Structure 1
Amino acid sequence: MSPHEQELLAEIQPIAGFNHPLTYGYSLKLAPLIKVGSIVRIPLGPRRILGVVFSLKPKDK
């Protein structure tokens, strides 16, 4: 997904290995699917890990 398509931000707490949430961008098209508390698969380096959506917010312009 290109940066200009990432209109919203989600803070996601990885299930293991991190003490703090990571921020990921996503498009409006995915907004109905992403809710606080959802379990999601996120890219981290060469792999994908599970995390929990901690908070949602609009991207600063």
Structure 2
Amino acid sequence: MTKITTVQCPQCGASVVWNEQSAYRPFCSKKCQMIDFGEWADEENAIAGAPDMSDGDGWSEDPY
């Protein structure tokens, strides 16, 4: 017997079956997928990273 894997849609919380028939997984629909994409495009979502170490911050690789 194969166990059916389900996940929660990150946008609305609906249950989504994780398989090839779920075209928008982990989202439940194209609508939820596009809402999420819009949030990333509007920079409402971000992945934390290293601070910007550009020369504009007074940092330089030259130790002298």
How would you bin the TM-score normalised by the shorter chain? under 0.3
TM-score w.r.t. the length of structure 2 is: 0.26
Query: TM-score, normalized by length of structure 1?
Result: 0.26
Of structures 1 and 2, the one with the larger relative CO (CA 8 A, separation 6+) is 1
Query: Is the radius of gyration larger for structure 1 or structure 2?
Result: 2
Q: Which has the higher helix share?
A: 2
- Looking at secondary structure, tell me which structure has more strand per residue: 1
